[in-house]
Structure 1
Amino acid sequence: MSSRLTGVGVGPGDPELVTVKGVNALRDADVVVVPVMAGADGTDGGEPGRAESTVLHYVPKEKTVRVVFALNERSDRARREAAWDTAGERVARLLQEHSAVAFATIGDPNVYSTFTYLAQTVQELVPGTVVETVPGITAMQDLAARSGAVLTEGTEPLTLVPVTAGSGVLKDALEGPGTVVAYKFGRQAREIAGILRETGRLDDAVWGSALGLPGESIRPASDLDGGPLPYLSTLIAPARRDGTRGGKL
């Protein structure tokens, strides 16, 4: 039988937001791989990641296997890809020992997830591996629920932008119609606040970080003062609306 690798979305941090299907996938797997941040020497940094902390609400620690990813590495492509290769090789070995391996990822495994790179590497190393995914709640959905920001109405488009792609991409989106969601904007908070103000989208926008976790912060974007924010911060700039019920139909 072919081995099975399942990417399981475990949501943005609140363990209550893991779906029933996600919990079942974690429990049914022989082992659950959890990504951890690389330390200065490139090895396991020691601190549990958000995915691991969530997983441990549902499976025993001895069932989990930590795999290092250079999650914050963008400048050194060679180091980043070396980390992916090492992680892929580790998971490939696990698939040779077990028929079912789950990989826990924050949010959804098909939305800006490290699982994408892992699955591609593993399939090259272990041909015939069956890859499946279990969707998870995304940070934008959780922030919308916690802040009361409506993501879309009627015919409005929804644009999701990783600010790591450049602030110009975000500005173009904000100048268009519909709601704009920005991920990973914490390191450029001052610049992003300026773009929101310039495009007339500041007043209704909201940002959040550490959703569902101790230290959670949900604030109006107008409170952005340029101070440091967590890298994994999320911003929602709702579409311009006139308050008419069904006005965007």
Structure 2
Amino acid sequence: MRLIGVGMGPGDPELVTVKAVRVLSEADRVFVPVLDGTDTGRAEATVRAHAGHDRIERLVFALNERTDAARRERHWDAAGARIVEWLRAAGGTAAFATIGDPNVYSTFTYLSQTVHALLPEAVIETVPGVTAMQALAAAANVPLSEGTEPLTLLPLARGGVAPLREALANDGSVVVYKAGRHLSEVAEAVKEAGREAVLGTHLGLPDERVDRLSDVDGAAPYLSTVFVPAVRTSRGGKI
């Protein structure tokens, strides 16, 4: 019995790794997270380019729940119980496809803990995937980090921008996930720090957009990414 969390990258089927494609093709069952059981989520849409549709099963999660912890946990429990039920009945390998990387702000973290608690003998593994910050750096054609620069990754789904202001005071690149609702505050913090930033929306999808943050007015989708590059004045100056 084996459960493998598979990173699907930002949504572009061509950014899925060769290993991920192999795991998806060999898995007896491929579980995908969705907000609504009747809809195709981003992870499933990417999976369908590489795995047989008859092996895909949707698991409903409260992916956009920010305040009701009990509701989130009910979905984790239900999804974990379903996977354990399948593993016990089939005894094979199940894959769980997740956008980005399964070890970076991923639902798979909580799912794997649930499955392990219910079925300790199950082997749990992960296959890394391309993250949104990597996809945005590539789309913007700006290195994420170089030399001795630190790289700070901040989620802003909850709370204010105080951690961002602190990070911007240091010499290094800063990436902000889930900044959509706080976009105006993020833009103001970047401006006050004398820095520039880019905003990536729908990364890896046909309607992908990369804009200068200072040119964007209003909010952005939940999964938007902001990239504030380090200040660089010469080639190799940070080595």
- Please give the TM-score of this superposition, normalised by the length of structure 1: 0.93
186, 191, 204: which one pairs with 1:212? 204
1:29 pairs with 2:20:
no
Match in the other structure for 1:62: 54
1:113 pairs with 2:106:
yes
Q: CA RMSD in A?
A: 1.0
Identity of aligned residues (%): 57
How far apart are the structure 2 equivalents of 1:165 and 1:133?
A: 27
User: Unaligned stretches of 5+ in structure 2?
Assistant: none
User: After superposition, where does 1:7-86 map in structure 2 within 5 Å?
Assistant: 7-38=5-36, 44=37, 46-86=38-78
Match in the other structure for 1:177: 171
Cα shift readout 1:131-154 (whole Å, capped 9, x = no counterpart): 100000001101111111211110
Q: Is the 8 A contact 2:35 2:62 kept in 1?
A: yes
1:143 pairs with 2:139:
no
TM-superposed CA distance for 1:159, in Å, is 0.5
List 4+ stretches of structure 1 deviating above 6 A.
none
Q: Is the 8 A contact 1:149 1:238 kept in 2?
A: yes
Match in the other structure for 2:152: 159
Match in the other structure for 2:191: 197
Match in the other structure for 1:247: 237
- Please give the TM-score of this superposition, normalised by the length of structure 2: 0.97
How far apart are the structure 2 equivalents of 1:172 and 1:248?
A: 20
162, 169, 172: which one pairs with 1:168? 162
Q: Is the 8 A contact 2:66 2:157 kept in 1?
A: no
The one-letter code sitting in structure 2 at the alignment partner of 1:154 is: G
User: Unaligned stretches of 5+ in structure 1?
Assistant: 39-43
1:95 pairs with 2:87:
yes
Cα shift readout 1:52-106 (whole Å, capped 9, x = no counterpart): 0000001121110100010000111111111111111111111112310000000
The one-letter code sitting in structure 1 at the alignment partner of 2:76 is: W
Q: Secondary structure at the match of 1:156?
A: coil
Q: Is the 8 A contact 1:163 1:169 kept in 2?
A: no
Aligned residues: 237
TM-superposed CA distance for 1:207, in Å, is 0.9
Match in the other structure for 2:221: 230
How far apart are the structure 2 equivalents of 1:112 and 1:65?
A: 22
Q: Secondary structure at the match of 1:164?
A: coil
Q: Secondary structure at the match of 1:142?
A: helix
The one-letter code sitting in structure 2 at the alignment partner of 1:209 is: T
How far apart are the structure 1 equivalents of 2:89 and 2:44?
A: 22
The one-letter code sitting in structure 1 at the alignment partner of 2:41 is: G
TM-superposed CA distance for 1:165, in Å, is 4.7
TM-superposed CA distance for 1:172, in Å, is 1.1
The one-letter code sitting in structure 1 at the alignment partner of 2:137 is: A
How far apart are the structure 2 equivalents of 1:76 and 1:123?
A: 24
Q: Is the 8 A contact 2:145 2:172 kept in 1?
A: yes
How far apart are the structure 1 equivalents of 2:170 and 2:89?
A: 51
